[in-house]
């Protein structure tokens, strides 16, 4: 069966420090991968999605970037964190257009201080 791993679960970082959140999917190949952010009191905002290795689409201009170095690995990064980057980050995947279900990881709570 397919599983999605996301780590770390919680992270406290100072303003200006770098960020790297990792997400990996097991039990499937060539998934569509997504990074969402859930700010306090708000819905889920799509940040990036990827349909294949090295292919990244950005939904909103921001201080973050994403990379997909391997088929089942999706990384969210920042060179210098801002206070506004605080939030709950969720990685998700689905299989192309044939499967409508989006499966989410357990999330990372990021606090930038």
Which of 86, 94, 97, 31 is closest to 64 using CA atoms?
Answer: 86
Which of 55, 57, 89 is closest to 71 using CA atoms?
Answer: 55
* DSSP track, 33-93: EEEEEE-TTS-EEEEEEEEETTEEEESS--S-EEEEEETTEEEEEESS--GGG-EEEEEEE
Taking residues 2 to 31 in sequence order and writing x for each that binds other proteins by CB under 8 A, - otherwise, the string is ------------------------------
Compare residues 43 and 61 and give the one whose CB is closer to other proteins. Answer: 43
Binding-site member from 2, 3, 15, 59 for other proteins (CB under 8 A) = 59
User: At a CB cut-off of 8 Å and minimum separation 6, what does 99 contact?
Assistant: none
> Using CB under 8 A, which of the segments 16-24, 39-47, 61-69, 74-82 binds other proteins?
39-47
Report 67-106 residues binding other proteins (CB under 8 A): 88, 90, 92, 97, 100-106
> Using CB under 8 A, which of the segments 14-22, 43-51, 61-69, 77-85 binds other proteins?
43-51
Compare residues 33 and 81 and give the one whose CB is closer to other proteins. Answer: 33
């Amino acid at each position: 069966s397919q599983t999605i791993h996301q780590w770390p679960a919680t992270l406290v970082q100072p303003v200006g420090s770098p960020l790297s959140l990792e997400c990996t999917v097991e039990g499937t190949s060539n998934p569509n991968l997504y990074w969402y952010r859930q700010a306090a009191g708000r819905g889920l905002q799509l940040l990036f999605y990827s349909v294949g290795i090295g292919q990244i689409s950005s939904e909103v201009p921001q201080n973050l970037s994403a990379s997909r170095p391997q088929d089942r690995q999706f990384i969210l990064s920042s060179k210098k964190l801002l206070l506004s980057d605080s939030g709950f980050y969720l990685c998700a995947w689905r299989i192309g257009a044939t499967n409508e279900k989006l499966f989410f990881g357990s999330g990372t709570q990021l606090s930038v201080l």
